[in-house]
């Protein structure tokens, strides 16, 4: 595997696997630093293709295309965590890849992720492996109250999830997943959701943004607000959780830790996202160094930037047909549109961030 | 001439003539709004070519190439003001162009610009047309003290300028310009320099940023600082000057007015730049809507964004070989590098902006 040597100098090329809005915003951030980007995507209409002259189209498991991609890049990163493990390994033999295969392998699978978090001594919802309908029933029996059955891999925006209130429902939900390995989690009656977006540099440097409070609608993020309702002690605790996770994964780049804030104030780790995160989009306007620039800095082996927040901010997603109101939205704040042509229901089309003077 | 109709919708293409750092930062700002860009440049190595898949290479007076360019764009703008008038007219027959030919014609020529400013009742240094060595001597005789002889067109970063202390020197300086029409300006013993960067929308909407204080070294901008030393009354006056100029030019887009702040506190108009301006780069980090996004909004017929400043800022240019210290600079603030390969002396390679919490 290629190890990290000297930083990628200005003029070098960062490869980004995945050309959606996250890849697009990463490419825009890299450009500010004088770095070029090459986008690898499996379809020709990737939003990120609009912001760089360098792109490659190929399946995510096409080892020849990935080798060609590695050849033109000085470092490679990802906008999503679900690249097949052998494809990541293939890249990592040829070019510096961050985050690394180990971090991706653990966070790709809800069971290995939750097990990893538990071993660190961090709190999570109770969870049980489910690989059969019988196991689903048994696991439900161990819960106190309701549960959520989730596929172990490839879930996002609520896809591959079902809330279950009985052993019978748990078994049925498992069958609806058509054999996909699953995990049953105890339902957490939390007070609200928060997240920490943080970065870890190749040398172990750590920088966390202020944790936003997050609201979801139909399993899709609607709104992130900073400052959150977390007390200063909870904020510190959230950042400590992120640091423990980043260190244990020997992580390089930006990652997010989604948290449930329990009714008693306790912080439970819900999920780790090994990438820039929707709940960190507000950092573009409210911080000197955005999560996108921070990730590029880490991947390129540059010093991390300052994550200090100099304004209060509310970030709202623009979903599906809401994007048709772009002109009105442009009046209300910093509008970001992702260059997607079709405003399908549930599709993230853009976001808008509104700043207020910081209320210390 | 094409008049402005409906706003350019997301997915539309903004054409940018000139692919230097200003074109590059304009393209990056357009991308955030979901707009595509096409860059027109007369050489193949333009920094802005690195941030869009759409570009054209051709001389700035190649009417066929410009017609091809106009065809793929929904609106066209410029990163510099020195395009030949007939080329602008050629574009303007085919596509919406902002700022318009009238504004560019006036600001391309120091004599027409100064005359225009004087007619608006705004203060400038005394100035005289110089088209011969004899005129140069005569003009010097009308000044009280020293003067600066400047070519009327194509000057930037101190090029085409000479300070003169006698009629003899004025005549010699004129001869060194080899017949280029010139203007002799009275030397202003100012206290410091400031500028207003402002935007005017197609419908007449106006938005001005807080005026920075500017320091030059070897005729090249070294540093812009907000807030400046201007009093609130002077700040208001500076914005009023910009509004008067924007309205009189029926201007669309971002422009800058460079000011001398006299020892008695009076504001003298030095120069108008019909484009985004080096003294407005700090708006990228310190304002919700940067000067680059603001210009794209105006050119595309979108509502103007909020120019409010939410942090104090100091912007410093990175000139020539200073860029070799990129790694150290990246530790100190928000680093911007322009993708230029060769760090020639006097060449603007990037800039760094450092924010501080706003001191009201």
In this complex, do B32 and A336 lie within 8 Å of one another by their Cβ atoms?
yes
- pLDDT value of position B357: 83
Nearest to A337 among B10, B327, B357 (CB): B10
Is B6 inside a domain boundary?
Answer: no
Chain B residues with CB under 8 Å of A53 CB are: 49-50, 52-53, 55
- Rounded distance, CA B291 to CA B285, Å? 10
Mean pLDDT of the residues in chain B: 94
Pairing of strands A36-41, A55-57: parallel
The DSSP H or E segment spanning B87 is helix B85-92
For residue B52, being part of any structural domain is answered with yes
Residue B234 lies in a domain: yes
Query: Do A294 and A166 reside in the same domain of the chain?
Result: no
CB atoms within 10 A of CB B12: 16
Of B53, B337, B354, the CB nearest to A53: B53
CB contact under 8 A, B330 and A303: yes
The answer to whether B305 contacts A334, with C-beta atoms less than 8 Å apart, is yes
User: Is B114 part of a structural domain of the chain?
Assistant: no
Residues 6 or more apart in contact with residue A1 via CB below 8 angstroms: A89, A92, A93, A97, A100, A101
Q: Which of the listed residues B78, B97, B116 is the one where a domain comes to its end?
A: B97
**Residue in B7, B50, B289 nearest the CB of A334:** B289
In 3D space, the residue among B32, B64, B114 whose CA is nearest the CA of residue B290 turns out to be: B32
**Residue A153: which CATH number?**
3.30.1490.20
What is the structure's pLDDT at B157?
65
Q: Are B159 and B180 contained in the same domain?
A: yes
- The CATH number covering residue A89 comes to 3.40.50.20
Q: Which backbone phi and psi does B165 adopt, to 5 degrees?
A: -115, 0
Does some domain include residue A330? yes
Domain C-terminal end among A57, A76, A97: A97
CA distance A245 to A238: 11
Query: Which residues fall within 8 angstroms of residue B342, CB to CB, at 6 or more apart?
Result: none
B-chain CB neighbours of A335 within 8 Å are: 32-33
What the block records as the tokens of B330 is 């990246």
Taking contacts as CB-CB distances below 8 angstroms, the residues of chain A near B11 are 339, 341
Does A21 share its domain with A66? yes
| Domain match, A59 and A130 both | no
Residues from chain A contacting residue B31 (CB–CB below 8 Å): 24, 28, 50-51, 339
Greatest alpha-carbon span in chain A? 59
Query: Do both A204 and A284 map to the same domain?
Result: yes
**What is the spatial distance between Cα A20 and Cα A49, in angstroms, rounded to a whole number?**
9
Q: Which residues of B touch A331 (CB under 8 A)?
A: 303
- In 3D space, the residue among A166, A132, A174 whose CA is nearest the CA of residue A150 turns out to be A174
pLDDT at B317: 98
| Pair type for strands A192-200 and A206-208 | antiparallel
- Candidates B7, B50, B354; nearest CB to A327: B7
Query: pTM (2 decimals)?
Result: 0.95
Instruction: Let me know: does A41 contact A23? Beta carbons within 8 Å.
Output: yes
Cα angle for residues A36, A326, B95 (degrees, 5° grid): 70
Number of domains chain A contains: 3
Determine contact, residues B224/B315, Cβ cutoff 8 Å.
Answer: yes
Q: Are residues B228 and B170 in the same domain?
A: no
Give the closest of B31, B50, B327 to A302, CB-based. B327
Which of B31, B49, B331 is opposite residue A53, by nearest beta carbon? B49
* Domain housing A266: 192-357
Question: Is B326's CB within 8 Å of A55's CB?
Answer: no
Give the tens place of pLDDT for each residue, B308-340: 999 999 999 999 999 999 999 999 999 999 999
A2 in a structural domain:
no
Report the residue of chain A nearest B22, measured CA to CA: A32
Q: Where are the alpha helices (DSSP H) in chain A?
A: 21-32, 63-72, 85-92, 101-108, 110-119, 133-142, 167-176, 232-248, 283-286, 291-299, 326-332
- CA dist A350 and A336 (Å) reads 5
| Domain co-membership, A144 together with A40 | no
Query: A355 to chain B: which residues are within 8 Å by CB?
Result: 288, 310
Contact B288 A327 (CB under 8 A): no
Q: How far apart are CA B18 and CA B66, in angstroms?
A: 12
- Both A152 and A89 in one domain: the answer is no
Q: Are B41 and B79 spatial neighbours (Cβ–Cβ below 8 Å)?
A: no
Q: Are residues A285 and A217 in the same domain?
A: yes
Transcribe A154-167 into DSSP letters.
S--TTTTEEEESSH
Is residue B18 domain-shared with residue B137, that is, in the same domain?
no
Residues B54 and B145 in one domain: no
Residue A263, domain member (yes or no): yes
**Each residue's pLDDT expressed in tens, for chain B with a length of 360 residues:** 555 678 999 999 999 999 999 999 999 999 999 999 999 999 999 999 999 999 999 999 999 999 999 999 999 999 988 888 899 999 999 999 999 999 999 999 999 999 999 999 999 999 999 999 999 999 999 998 899 999 998 766 667 889 999 999 999 999 998 889 999 999 998 999 999 999 999 999 999 999 999 999 999 999 999 999 999 999 999 999 999 999 999 999 999 999 999 999 999 999 999 999 999 999 999 999 999 999 999 999 999 999 999 999 999 999 999 999 999 999 999 999 999 999 999 999 999 999 988 876
Torsion of CA A232, A235, A237, A241, to 10 degrees: -170
Chain B CB contacts of A33 below 8 Å: 330, 335-337
Tell me if residue B195 falls in helix, strand or coil.
strand
Considering the domain architecture, whether residues B182 and B196 belong to the same structural domain is answered as no
Q: Which of A155, A186, A217 is the last residue of a domain?
A: A186
User: Are A33 and B336 within 8 A, CB to CB?
Assistant: yes
Specify if A36 maps to a domain.
yes
Residue B353: which CATH number?
A: 3.30.470.20
Tell me the shortest Cα–Cα distance from B242 to chain A, in angstroms. 23
Q: How far is A101 from chain B (nearest CA, A)?
A: 27
Task: Identify the CA nearest to B158 among candidates B276, B43, B271.
Answer: B271
Show residues of chain A in contact with B331, CB under 8 Å. Answer: 303
**Pairs of residues, one from chain A and one from chain B, whose beta carbons lie less than 8 Å apart:** 121
- Which of the residues in chain A have pLDDT under 70? 1-4, 155-158, 360
């Amino acid at each position: 595997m290629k190890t990290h040597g000297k930083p990628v100098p200005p003029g070098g090329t960062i490869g980004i696997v995945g050309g959606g809005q996250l890849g697009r915003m990463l490419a825009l951030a890299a450009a500010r630093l004088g770095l070029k980007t090459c986008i690898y995507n499996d379809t020709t209409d990737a939003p990120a293709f609009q912001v760089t002259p360098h792109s490659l189209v190929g399946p995510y498991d096409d080892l020849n295309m990935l080798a060609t991609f590695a050849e033109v890049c000085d470092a490679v990163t990802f906008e999503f965590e679900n690249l097949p493990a052998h494809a990541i390994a293939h890249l990592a033999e040829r070019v510096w890849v961050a985050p690394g295969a180990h971090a991706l392998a653990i966070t790709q699978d809800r069971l290995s992720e939750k097990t990893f978090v538990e071993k660190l001594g961090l709190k999570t919802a109770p969870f049980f492996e489910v690989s059969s309908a019988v196991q689903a029933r048994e696991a439900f029996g161990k819960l106190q109250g309701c549960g959520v059955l989730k596929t172990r891999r490839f879930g996002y925006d609520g896809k591959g999830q079902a809330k279950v209130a009985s052993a019978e429902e748990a078994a049925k939900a498992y069958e609806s997943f058509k054999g996909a390995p699953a995990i049953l989690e105890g339902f957490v009656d939390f007070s609200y959701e928060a997240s920490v977006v943080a970065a870890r540099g190749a040398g172990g440097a750590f920088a966390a943004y202020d944790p936003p409070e997050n609201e979801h609608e139909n399993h899709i993020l609607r709104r992130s607000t900073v400052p959150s309702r977390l007390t200063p002690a909870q904020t510190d605790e959230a950042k400590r959780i992120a640091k423990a996770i980043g260190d244990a994964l020997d992580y390089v780049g930006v990652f997010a830790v989604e948290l449930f804030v329990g009714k008693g104030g306790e912080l439970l780790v819900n999920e780790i996202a090994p990438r820039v995160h929707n709940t960190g989009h507000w950092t573009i306007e409210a911080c000197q160094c955005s999560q996108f620039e921070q990730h590029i800095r880490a991947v390129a082996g540059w010093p991390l930037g300052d994550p200090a927040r100099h304004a209060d901010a509310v970030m709202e997603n623009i979903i599906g047909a809401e994007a048709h109101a772009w002109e009105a939205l442009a009046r209300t704040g910093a509008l970001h549109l992702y260059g997607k042509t079709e405003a399908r229901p549930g599709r993230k089309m853009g976001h808008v961030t509104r700043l207020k003077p910081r209320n210390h």
